[in-house]
């Protein structure tokens, strides 16, 4: 099975200026990522504030990232929803504007049974011809994709991978045993890149790489080369920064960090608010320790 990507994909922020999408900054961010050696980009994912983008903005962000990337790296579009029909529409729109793959978060608030998850994901997969990554983040959605459910969904032709952000290593072990190589595994948590790659994972969909695309990609590629010690050392090195990036709900800290690097004015849409001062000061300290000039 060909992987959608191997290494690190950045779940990029959506830079804003005066509360509106800053498309010029978005273009620069795409270049910054690709020039930094990132392996793929996720546009309009949850880190990109998909929940508060208008329908038009959502599609335009994906379109702009696809155009700017210009085939240099795969572009994965965040098109999940708690409404199946809406997820199908977003997914179709993303495919129409050139996305290479789709990232589908589990339904939130209304949740779903495991059978409902199978029906939802199958319906979306059958509506498009692009590869799909299933996104499991129960701390934010209230529903977990169980290992047996992954095994059932692995039989759907264009469901190809998992972004696992449950934090439950035991469940990940069980999942990888059951899918038996039919689904790629990506870590959805920056503090678990190496642990999940040890289970056969092929990379990460990352928040950290917004700031450090080269370094995050190197964690993955060191592991893929067989240099587990180097991968682990890098994982350890960036843990303080990773913790600072999650000192408040994502993407509050990473937007603050990227503002310091020149991407947007720090605008973030309610109900999310700007980072608290103490958290920002700690974040800046950790950024400097990681070698960033802020």
Q: Per residue in 110-142, pLDDT tens?
A: 999 999 999 999 999 999 999 999 999 999 999
Give this prediction's pTM.
Answer: 0.97
Give the residue among 138, 135, 139, 142 at the shortest CA–CA distance from 161: 135
The structure tokens listed for 260 are 């310091």
Domains and CATH numbers, the chain: 7-227 (3.20.20.70)
Q: What is the pLDDT of residues 229-276, one digit of tens each?
A: 999 999 999 999 999 999 999 999 999 999 999 999 999 999 999 999
Geometric angle at alpha carbon 257, from 256 and 263, rounded to 5°: 85
Alpha carbons 50 and 143: distance in angstroms, whole number: 19
Active site residues: 135, 163
| DSSP state at residue 262 | T
């Amino acid at each position: 099975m060909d992987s959608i990507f191997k290494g690190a994909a950045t779940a990029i922020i959506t830079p804003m200026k005066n509360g509106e999408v800053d498309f010029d900054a978005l273009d620069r961010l795409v270049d910054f990522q690709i020039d930094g050696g990132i392996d793929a980009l996720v546009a309009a994912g949850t880190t990109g504030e998909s929940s508060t983008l208008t329908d038009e903005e959502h599609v335009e962000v994906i379109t702009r990232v696809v155009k700017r990337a210009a085939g240099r790296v795969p572009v994965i579009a965040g098109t999940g929803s708690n409404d199946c029909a809406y997820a199908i529409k977003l997914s179709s729109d993303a495919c129409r504007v050139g996305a290479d793959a789709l990232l589908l978060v589990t339904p939130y608030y209304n949740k779903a049974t495991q059978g409902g998850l199978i029906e939802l994901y199958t319906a979306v997969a059958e509506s498009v011809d692009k590869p799909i990554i299933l996104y499991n983040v129960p701390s934010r959605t209230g529903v977990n994709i169980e290992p047996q459910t992954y095994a059932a969904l692995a039989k759907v032709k264009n469901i190809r991978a998992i972004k696992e952000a449950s934090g439950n290593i035991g469940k990940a072990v069980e999942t990888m045993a059951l899918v038996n190589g039919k689904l790629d595994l990506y870590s959805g948590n920056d503090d678990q890149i190496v642990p999940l790659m040890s289970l056969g994972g092929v990379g990460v969909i990352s928040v950290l790489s917004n700031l450090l695309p080269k370094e995050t990609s190197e964690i993955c590629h060191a592991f893929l080369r067989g240099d587990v010690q180097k991968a682990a050392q890098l994982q350890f090195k960036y843990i303080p920064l990773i913790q600072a990036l999650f000192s408040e709900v994502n993407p509050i800290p990473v937007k603050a960090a990227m503002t310091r690097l020149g991407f947007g004015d720090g605008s973030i849409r309610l109900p999310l608010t700007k980072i608290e001062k103490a958290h920002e000061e700690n974040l800046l300290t950790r950024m400097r320790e990681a070698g960033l000039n802020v």
